[in-house]
Structure 1
Amino acid sequence: MLVLLATLALAAARPRQLGGTPSMDTAADYSAPSSFAMVSRVYIPYDTEATSLAFGMGAAEQIAYDHMQKYAYAVSEQGVLNVIDWNDPSNPAVQSSLAYDFQGEKLTDIEICADKRVIFVGAGASTKTDNGRVHILSTVQRSSPAAPTSIGNLEAGPLPDMILPNSDCTKLAVANEGEAIYKNGLTDPAGSAMIFESSDWSNVANVVKHTVTFDSYTDSQLIQNGVHLPLSYDAMVYWDDNSYVASTVDFASARSSYSAATNLEPEYLAWSGDDSTLFVNLQENNAVAIINVPSTGFPSLTKITGLGLKDYTTIPIDLKKDQACTLATYAGLKSLRLPDSIQAVEVDGKTYLLTANEGDDVSYGDWEEKMKLKDVVESDGTPDKDMINMTITAAAASAAQAVHTATDGLRITIGSTAVDYSDPLAPEIQHIVAFGGRGISIYEHTGGDLSLTWDSGSEFEAQQCAHFPWAHNGIQDEEFSPVNGTLWTTDAGIRGTLEEMAQECNDGGDGKPGACPLGQTVDERSEKDGPAPEAIVAGKACGSLLAVTATEKQSTIFVYDISNINSPTLLFVKHLSPSSETKNPGVAYADRSLGETDPEAMIFLDAAHSPSGKAGVMVGGAWSGTMSFWEFECPSTTTSVSDVSTAMSALSGWSLTILVLVSFALA
């Protein structure tokens, strides 16, 4: 009888929409998963032809999953939406006859509201500084499978980089990145966030749009809030008029129309559990915009807050390009976390934000925010001769000298976090600041702000060395595509790089010269951003709250139990592509042993949404054009009276009535 009650209790609880904010009550019983293993993988075409299979074409740039129909979707950089049948978890199959062709549009994201039978697809304009749009399509229905059809589209801002519905799909948030282009001068649109509202997405004409702008802040206010500005107005004046690149850059137009918001680039989104708060990640700014979203009416900007710097005075880091795991501390060296993905969770009624601290930078023409340490500060601690009229603080000079003992090739920022440009004629280097937090962080949302709760420290580099030293701070990306292959013929700008990479190693994994396997690129990213985790998702498995993240260029996946939000526990470290130790991506792709490379997209599936009935994670590899399903196994447990009591307390009145009636019928 107790088992029956528990079963009915679980069936009566309606799961949140897939992708909703997971929550955890630590007073309830829970246990950590006992294993995490891959169930299946599929190779996805980059266009509408089933034979269009190639590494490096971005065939799985972003992914989504319809848990009701058990179809997955992948959007490619080539403007195509592919459909994958995941009804059999162990044998997914691409359905090329159901593919949808966007005719070369730059697709950025895909989300699904399964119960409303709609797909949302973000798309940038052909000129990325122009307004993009969000397409609305129908989902594929298993009862009568047919390709998605267009319902309509919504006008977004420049480069809508991410879209995300709230828990009941009555609101759709859009992060308009507003990424700049440099062509005969700098064109830099302001970033913004939009929230579309509708109770019926099939009627596009009745959709209401709210736009939240970030132009209420000045440069100085943002800097005071810890927000990083790659190219503030004063910095623009210096580099445009007084620097060694002044003769080759032209920022005149950008200066004339400048606002602090042009520095802000929204990239990722997360909703709070009650849908009242939207978190907007500003990756290149090392900051998050917090937006208040009332149930009705206009959303409003609460605050833009910086995410703080990571200090390697006490946290070990590997900066040496010596093909070894050489972690050490460096007094005064800091880094910008610069997260890519973010994920909100609730623990004991409090909201937390998880960040995957990848690292990123910007460049415009001959001006680049990212520079080698040796090109900014000499080994004696003085500014390089090209840093015209710049001065340096004693603390920054000391930090630079400490780093010089390990490497002079560390990439550092010349943005506002490192250099004070308040006097454009004589900027001051105040800090030595690298790119990327080389791990994940957890922030508590309280009082309209974010405060750091926990950071993974040096665990990513240390654990990658312990489990997969051949992948430590290595690199595999689209530049490793087979020379004269599909990517070579479609992108003239990358041909020279491909030809160079194709001759890097004597044995690419097939006994022939070619691009290097991952196992022969150890430390290639140590002077840059290290592990560079880019995706992070969270959800429930075995009652525990888990966070899953993966590194961009090494394909290492980390699983943390974050049920104790103040002190997470690392459970699993796996590699998505073990064959990459000895095979370059072209060779591994050809023999179908290649796993997810550039795992930019992940979906956490709790047991109620999983195709197998067990909690798991779907992982999409953008460059590999693959998608895999990984599953958690739970330790064997028995149902207790306390379990039933907890389940009973969660039931609505009508559910409890049903249980009572069933009990009497069985008596």
Structure 2
Amino acid sequence: MGAAEQVAYDHVQKYAYAVSEQGVLNVIDWDNVTNPQVLSSLAYDFAGAKLTDIEICTSQGVMFIGAGAADTVSDGTVHILSTVQRSSPTKPVSQGTLVTGPLPDMILPNSDCTKLAVANEGEGEYGSSLVDPEGSVMIFQSADWSNPSSASKSTVALSGYTDSELMGMGVHLPLPLDAMVYFDDYSKWKDDLNFSTARTTYSSAMNLEPEYLSWSADDSTLFVNLQENNAVAIIDVPASGSPTLTTISGLGLKDHGTIPIDVNAGDKACVQATYTGLKALRQPDAIQAVEVDGKTYVLTANEGDDKGYGDFEEKLKLKDVLNSDGSVDSDMEHMTVSSSAASTAMALFAVADSLRITVGSAAINYTNSSAPEIQDIVAFGGRGVSIYEHTTSGLTLSWDSGAEVEREQCAHYAWAHNAIQDEEFAPVNGHLYMAAGSKLRGTLDEMNDPSQDGCADAGDGQPGACPLGQMVDDRSAKDGPGVEAIVAGKACGSLVAVTATEKQGTAFVYDISNIASPSLLFVKHLSPASEMKSPGVAYADRSLGEIDPEAMIFLEDAHSPSGKAGVMFAGAWSGTMSFWEFECPTTTTTSTAGPVDTSGAREVSALSLSVLLFVFSFARL
């Protein structure tokens, strides 16, 4: 369960590290690239702390590990440990800690490790009432990370805008102040919600939650992804002096009036269609900055995400918001609906009344809190990747994959089309089941019971959890393929980007040398065994592969353990890790656009990935 939440690789010493949500750091020896070994004796126990990220500074022989507090609203920590040295492998030793803001979701050093950026997500927590800290970014600076007390800290607040200013900039707010008033005072949930304290202390930055970071090539700019807000904050980081927030750029809505989408979960087939008026928030998880021809671009993996506090749920089914005739459902009392939104809803009802839509600011105007208006039908997730150019005014959309990811996943792996496979598919009496609380055990019982949500054959002839191949279309009314990770680098002379879907484990490889017109090179499934086997069955016979490949590392030739460029994939939920290297084509042609810091780039139409080793499971599981 989250055994490989995030991973890092020390290309100098040839050790990889994986942090788990249960507070364990695993060390993996990659010196023999075809036979990596988990070094259990070197594992470091953080006593159950929720670890969020790990990064390596090879020049100083240290690693940075992010850890949240027991709750999401208290300050977190960055642990600094020594890395394992090949000459004398010993267990990592703590060098000290840094105090961060609430929930340090990602940490990232700049190119020379003199600065360490921290994205403090500041996720809200609901007990008897809502407590929601502001999201922020911290940048620590030090020339010697073995002495953390010497580090200086600069905090970049995101509180310089009002709700109306942010919404005018295209920033999505899951729960703006006016919406908080509606749900607290006028909605059907008003007696079960208590937003009074949050309303009194409200600032727009409570809605902004930094989750992912990427530095520009020259370290002068830090891009901060705000996933739930469908936006990226841009921070200017001078060589000396204080960093400052330049702007926050909304990433725009995807128009499914022109871009086909599969929102019908009932037909169990790959059928894309357009729906006039239907839009979607891109809401990327991972982002990656690249430089091409002297310009900086930001790649985004458009997963989709939502917020929920107590009885407030931002993500609702279409049929719980509007009726088949376009009228407002009784659950959304006191709301009104525009004629265009009503028309879109009526067209969708026949095929997708369970489509998940937002009740946040991108869809509903809450200016009149006692009578908000539903203005648009807006789904979650961009179901693909996008490329934005960094300009003086912010980020400008340069290219979007459109319907390609959903279409090509179906074309290559129809059995995985918008399917789902995650922690809920563990076997009864397995490791996760035995460690789970009663609520999760109940869910697992249902998932393993053929009379409920399980299958008569889990892949071993016995009833149990369903193989991925039996779950086609289950995510179509939610976020579809749900791409969540993206990395980029040079392979075979071209600039290549790799992304992967969360629930299906499908990787997509693009040639982005021509940044204005990327081309999809090939699609590769990271868990082919899942077509016919449940995760529990495939895990037991060691054929599982990566489930939830949230963490990926692009390793160019010089940093690769094999000497050839490739990608390390880590399955957060499968607790597995593998390295795939690129096989270069035998013939190439000169490209018109060169990749980062190279000349004579080549197209790689014949480029492919070959697995260099069998995936392995962490010993602790």
Residue type matched to 1:201 in 2?
W
| Equivalence map 1:151-550=2 (5 Å) | 151-321=95-265, 322-492=267-437, 493-503=439-449, 504-550=454-500
Q: Secondary structure at the match of 1:473?
A: coil
Residue 150 (structure 1) aligned with residue 100 (structure 2): no
- Give the number of equivalent residue pairs: 589
| Distance in 2 of aligned mates of 1:558 and 1:544 | 16
Choose from 47, 55, 76 the match for 1:111. 55
Q: Which residue of 2 aligns with 1:654?
A: none
Residue type matched to 1:456 in 2?
S
Deviation per residue, 1:413-452 (Å, 9 max, x gap): 0000000001101100010000000000000000140000
Q: Secondary structure at the match of 2:191?
A: coil
Decide which structure has the larger Cα Rg and report it: 1
Q: Which runs of 4+ in 1 moved over 4 A?
A: 637-640, 647-650
Q: Which residue of 2 aligns with 1:81?
A: 25
Q: Which residue of 2 aligns with 1:128?
A: 72
| Distance in 2 of aligned mates of 1:547 and 1:472 | 22
Superposed displacement of residue 131, structure 1: 0.1
Aligned partners of 1:68 and 1:115 also within 8 Å: no
Q: Which residue of 1 aligns with 2:547?
A: 597
Superposed displacement of residue 638, structure 1: 10
Q: Secondary structure at the match of 2:553?
A: strand
Superposed displacement of residue 203, structure 1: 1.4
Superposed displacement of residue 590, structure 1: 0.1
Q: Secondary structure at the match of 1:318?
A: coil
Aligned-residue identity in percent: 70
Aligned partners of 1:174 and 1:193 also within 8 Å: yes
Q: Which residue of 2 aligns with 1:557?
A: 507
CA, structure 1 residues 348+391, in 2 after alignment: closer, same or farther (shift >3 Å)?
A: same
Superposed displacement of residue 217, structure 1: 0.7
Superposed displacement of residue 649, structure 1: 10
| Distance in 1 of aligned mates of 2:3 and 2:160 | 39
CA, structure 1 residues 577+395, in 2 after alignment: closer, same or farther (shift >3 Å)?
A: same
Superposed displacement of residue 639, structure 1: 13
Superposed displacement of residue 485, structure 1: 2.0
Deviation per residue, 1:166-204 (Å, 9 max, x gap): 011100000000011111111111100000001111111
Q: Secondary structure at the match of 2:166?
A: helix
| Distance in 1 of aligned mates of 2:165 and 2:552 | 35
Residue type matched to 1:213 in 2?
A
Superposed displacement of residue 89, structure 1: 1.2
TM-score (norm 2): 0.93
Q: Secondary structure at the match of 1:425?
A: coil
| Distance in 1 of aligned mates of 2:335 and 2:149 | 55
Q: Secondary structure at the match of 2:409?
A: helix
Q: Which residue of 2 aligns with 1:575?
A: 525
Q: Secondary structure at the match of 1:280?
A: strand
| Distance in 2 of aligned mates of 1:462 and 1:193 | 37
Superposed displacement of residue 648, structure 1: 12
Residue type matched to 2:515 in 1?
I
Aligned partners of 1:302 and 1:448 also within 8 Å: no
| Distance in 1 of aligned mates of 2:317 and 2:168 | 26
Q: Which residue of 2 aligns with 1:630?
A: 580
Superposed displacement of residue 387, structure 1: 1.3
Residue type matched to 1:153 in 2?
T
Which runs of 5 or more residues in structure 1 are unaligned? 1-56, 641-646, 651-667
Which runs of 5 or more residues in structure 2 are unaligned? 591-596, 601-621
TM-score (norm 1): 0.87
CA, structure 1 residues 513+236, in 2 after alignment: closer, same or farther (shift >3 Å)?
A: same
Superposed displacement of residue 454, structure 1: 0.4
| Distance in 2 of aligned mates of 1:250 and 1:376 | 22
| Distance in 2 of aligned mates of 1:457 and 1:273 | 27
Q: Which residue of 2 aligns with 1:659?
A: none
| Distance in 2 of aligned mates of 1:238 and 1:514 | 44
RMSD of aligned Cα (Å): 1.6
Deviation per residue, 1:258-295 (Å, 9 max, x gap): 10000011000000011010000000000010000000
Residue type matched to 2:427 in 1?
P
Residue type matched to 1:324 in 2?
A
Residue type matched to 1:537 in 2?
V
Choose from 84, 87, 95 the match for 2:39. 95
Q: Secondary structure at the match of 1:508?
A: coil
Residue type matched to 2:96 in 1?
G
